[in-house]
């Protein structure tokens, strides 16, 4: 978990994602998730959403979504299982990929999910050449992401400080 957030926000995000089980619950949970992540200031001329929880909350939201979806499951790949979660993930990837901070944190999200080890030093010792490629291919197969989002994800990987993850980003482009 990221340390800069209130633990209650982590719990709330995780519970709301677990509640994404059908389209009926998706609208309520989606609105509540967005209210956790953003605050709407109607007095601003552009009516833009202003982040209050920051990239740590967005990062944790993606981690929870990726943990809750098995992209290798054939039922998910054909869209008959977890459709509310996959639809929310697609929508959130689409909206978040336009934010400048997305490039900074998304490679970390994939790395954390692909290699759930508590310490980066342990990862380097036990798995000197980690690769996210297979996982990214599974995500693309299930979500059928737009080419623009695939390029943004590849760019995020390319910008990773981990050399192997950066190579994976090049391989995706």
Statement: residue 108 has pLDDT above 80: yes
Q: What local confidence, expressed as pLDDT, does residue 16 receive?
A: 83
Q: How far apart are CA 60 and CA 27, in angstroms?
A: 20
What average pLDDT score do residues 73-82 get?
A: 74
Give this prediction's pTM: 0.77
Per-residue b/e over 64-81, b at no fewer than 16 CB within 10 Å? bbbeebebeeeebbeeee
Statement: residue 47 has pLDDT above 60: no
């Amino acid at each position: 978990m990221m340390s800069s957030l209130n633990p209650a926000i982590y719990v709330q995000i995780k519970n709301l994602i677990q509640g994404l089980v059908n389209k009926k619950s998706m609208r309520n949970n989606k609105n509540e998730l967005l209210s956790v992540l953003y605050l709407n200031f109607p007095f601003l001329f552009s009516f833009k959403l202003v982040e209050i929880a920051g990239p740590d909350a967005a990062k944790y939201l993606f981690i929870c979504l990726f943990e809750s979806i098995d992209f290798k499951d054939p039922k998910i790949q054909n869209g008959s299982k977890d459709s509310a979660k996959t639809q929310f993930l697609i929508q959130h990837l689409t909206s978040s990929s336009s934010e400048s901070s997305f490039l900074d944190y998304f490679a970390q999200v994939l790395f954390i999910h692909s290699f759930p080890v508590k310490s980066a030093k342990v990862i380097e010792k036990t798995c000197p050449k980690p690769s996210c490629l297979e996982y990214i291919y599974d995500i693309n197969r299930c979500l059928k992401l737009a080419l623009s989002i695939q390029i943004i994800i590849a760019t995020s990987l390319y910008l990773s400080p981990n050399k192997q993850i950066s190579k994976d980003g090049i391989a995706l482009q």
